[in-house]
Amino acid sequence: MRRCRQSPAFEVACSGFTEAQCKCLVGRKLARARWNHPGNGPAQASGLCRAAGRALSGRVQVASMKTTITGLFGLALAGAISLGADQKGIVLQVLDGDTFQLQDGRQVRCLGVDAPERGEPFADEATQILNRLVGGKQVRLELGRPARDRDGRLLAYVFVGSNMVNTQLLRLGAAYMRRPILRRYKPAFAQAQEDARAAGLGIWTNTASVKVRLAHIQARPGSGQPSSSTGEFVVLENYGDQPLDLTGWTLSDEGHHRYLFPRFVLAPKAKVTIHSGLGRNTDTDLFWGSRSPIWNNNGDTVFLRDDKGRLVLVHPY
């Protein structure tokens, strides 16, 4: 076996350049040229050889490109299948109220919930609750999309046996709802959070008696309104039998835009509308004073906190 002098990229197994003995396209083309024209030597046939070499080289490059693309596609598909499939692991340690580490070193954040951060009220209790739920146990992970956050942690709906840990955290008052949440899980998440809030568990301990709810949110400008913040509003309702003093309370979104309530008391069975734009405050309407939109049209979360910063209401939409 030796390399073709006219096209060194290809190996030629030949003896006297006979067509029958040549094993590559370039060699066969050159052999045929000499066989059809016995007077031709390698120099005379070299033009045909080089042309054949270029043709074959092009074919090889195209084939190589196809192979590479096919390989990359296969790897991407394999990665998508891997991320989409459920995964399992043994919990090594709990890091905080919604995050833990597996024995193989991977860190997992419970998707759809948010527990108090270190230093915040009920943070230590939330961490202990998660530890009781998953510590040292085998867990099954239903990965979200995306499957990892910016810190490289897996984002997952976590199961111990048939029980979902995420909803248990909500039901025990160790966390509140946080987008994104799969549509099929939203009703269970909302019910679990409301049960904890009504029972005054965990993060809701000091606000369970507050009878306020989100009656409506209008993120998009209303009919006939320009595409500006003036068409946005949130409606809160006092469904209790006692007046509700909202002075010093805050209304905020996921982007940390915050509205501070002025001196204001909401009468029993009454509603107040908080508009994003400019206007004059009345007994039924308050104005944020923003010149730009607050509430995202494609989804956001309404947070209501009392004058001590304690959560009263969390409503993702």
What CATH number did the domain enclosing 241 receive? 2.60.40.1260
Query: Where is pLDDT greater, at 144 or 231?
Result: 144
Please state, as a whole number, how many other Cβ atoms lie within 10 Å of the Cβ of residue 213: 17
- Percentage of the chain lying above the pLDDT 70 cut: 70
Measured distance CA(126)–CA(261) in Å, rounded: 29
pLDDT band at 220 (very low <50, low <70, confident <90, very high): confident
Measured distance CA(317)–CA(301) in Å, rounded: 6
pLDDT band at 229 (very low <50, low <70, confident <90, very high): low
Q: Based on the fold, state whether residues 103 and 145 are members of the same structural domain.
A: yes
Q: Based on the fold, state whether residues 257 and 174 are members of the same structural domain.
A: no
- State the angle between helix axes of 42-84 and 25-36 in degrees (0 to 180), rounded to the nearest 10: 160
Q: Which two tokens stand for residue 306?
A: 């009392």
pLDDT at res. 27: 47
Q: Taking 90 as the threshold, does the pLDDT of residue 261 lie above it?
A: yes
CATH of the domain at 193: 2.40.50.90
Q: List, in sequence order, the alpha helices (H) in 104-159.
A: 123-134
Q: Which of 54, 1, 12, 2 is nearest to 34 (CA)?
A: 12
Q: Based on the fold, state whether residues 109 and 77 are members of the same structural domain.
A: no
Q: Based on the fold, state whether residues 188 and 235 are members of the same structural domain.
A: no
pLDDT band at 86 (very low <50, low <70, confident <90, very high): confident
pLDDT band at 33 (very low <50, low <70, confident <90, very high): very low
Mean pLDDT of all residues in 242-255: 98
Q: Taking 90 as the threshold, does the pLDDT of residue 74 lie above it?
A: no
Over residues 137-186, the pLDDT tens digits come to 999 999 999 999 999 999 999 999 999 999 999 999 999 999 999 999 99
Q: Based on the fold, state whether residues 218 and 282 are members of the same structural domain.
A: yes
Give pTM, 2 decimals.
0.68
Q: Based on the fold, state whether residues 74 and 114 are members of the same structural domain.
A: no
pLDDT band at 7 (very low <50, low <70, confident <90, very high): very low
Q: Which residues pair with 225 in a beta bridge?
A: none
Which of 186, 204, 222 is the last residue before a domain boundary? Answer: 204
Q: Based on the fold, state whether residues 178 and 216 are members of the same structural domain.
A: no
- Domain count for the chain, please give it: 3
| Least confident span in 25-34, 123-132, 171-180, 256-265 | 25-34
Q: Based on the fold, state whether residues 241 and 197 are members of the same structural domain.
A: no
Residues noted as catalytic: 109, 117, 153
Domain range for 120: 87-204
State CA 32 to chain mean position distance: 62
Q: Taking 60 as the threshold, does the pLDDT of residue 210 lie above it?
A: yes
Which of 151, 174, 204 is the last residue before a domain boundary? Answer: 204
For residue 35, CA distances in Å to 19, 27, 79, 197, 274 come to 8, 12, 54, 93, 94
Measured distance CA(196)–CA(248) in Å, rounded: 25
The residue behind tokens 């031709």 is 40
Q: Taking 80 as the threshold, does the pLDDT of residue 235 lie above it?
A: yes
Three-state secondary structure call for residue 68:
helix
pLDDT band at 225 (very low <50, low <70, confident <90, very high): low
Q: Based on the fold, state whether residues 57 and 38 are members of the same structural domain.
A: yes
Mean pLDDT of all residues in 307-314: 96
Measured distance CA(33)–CA(52) in Å, rounded: 11
Q: Based on the fold, state whether residues 187 and 238 are members of the same structural domain.
A: no
pLDDT at res. 230: 63
| Amino acid (one-letter) located at 79 | G
pLDDT at res. 240: 97
pLDDT band at 221 (very low <50, low <70, confident <90, very high): low
Over residues 273-287, the pLDDT tens digits come to 999 999 999 999 999
Q: Based on the fold, state whether residues 238 and 310 are members of the same structural domain.
A: yes
Query: Where is pLDDT greater, at 282 or 12?
Result: 282
Q: Based on the fold, state whether residues 92 and 164 are members of the same structural domain.
A: yes
Which of 166, 181, 204 is the last residue before a domain boundary? Answer: 204
Does residue 268 contact residue 288 with C-beta atoms inside 8 Å? no
Query: Where is pLDDT greater, at 312 or 40?
Result: 312
Query: Where is pLDDT greater, at 85 or 20?
Result: 85
| Amino acid (one-letter) located at 75 | L
